[in-house]
Structure 1
Amino acid sequence: MFKIKSEDGIILVRIFLIIFSLVFIYSGAIYQVEHYSNPEVFKTFFDALYFSVVTMTTVGFGDVIPLSEAGKILTVIMIFSGILLIPWQLSILTQKFLQNTQQGNQVCSHCGLKFHDRDANYCKICGTKL
């Protein structure tokens, strides 16, 4: 079955911290930029947090809209960050999970390769019987 190793836990924590940090940094920035020019829409930090999550995931409901030039520029940066960083981090996580489910823990006695396919009888590097 699938086991979470300490390395996997570190990768998982890193991915969540990167995404969480980006969302909170952008939320704080958009709140600081838009609260004074658009106080009826960006009343609280949670309004900015909602806007950041909706924008970075490219859902874009359109119910919260920045009015200032700085807010619009920051929104464009948020969209590009959401398009580039979130799928990239999730692909790393998916790749790691797939690697762990498809590979066994057998170590080759000749070359020391640690990961082989679960149904492998021979090392894929040196050909030694496992």
Structure 2
Amino acid sequence: MRVLPIKQKCIPKAGTKRIVKTIYEEEYQRAYLRQQTTAGKRMKGLRQGTVEPVFGSLTQYYGLNKIPVLGIDGAHKTMLMAAIAFNIKKYIKCHPNKAAEDALHKAKDYLSEQLNILTCHLGAEFGFSLRP
């Protein structure tokens, strides 16, 4: 077997060099060409600005580099819950006054409802009404 001098530069430790072609080569080529169009570049920019930062943040800062459930359904639920929590956190960060105001209104409505229920129970228990 004759060793070519260029082989020592390219692949010094390998016995042979393999070029792998997959059966999906046409699909890869079609996807690559689609990404090179104007619409493809616009979609890539949109995806990089909206979806990929969320996945990056979830994996880097929120510990979702491994999903601690079994099965695709469990992983899907975990990612949905993480994305919902991430979006809520982002919303509160961008709209702190509106979020606080909404929470205050919900708390006020809930407490008002609970007070009405309590007064009805007390009125029924002791035979009086606090309403005019």
Report the TM-score when normalising by structure 2: 0.27
Structure number with greater Rg is 2
Report the TM-score when normalising by structure 1: 0.27
Greater share of residues in helix: 2
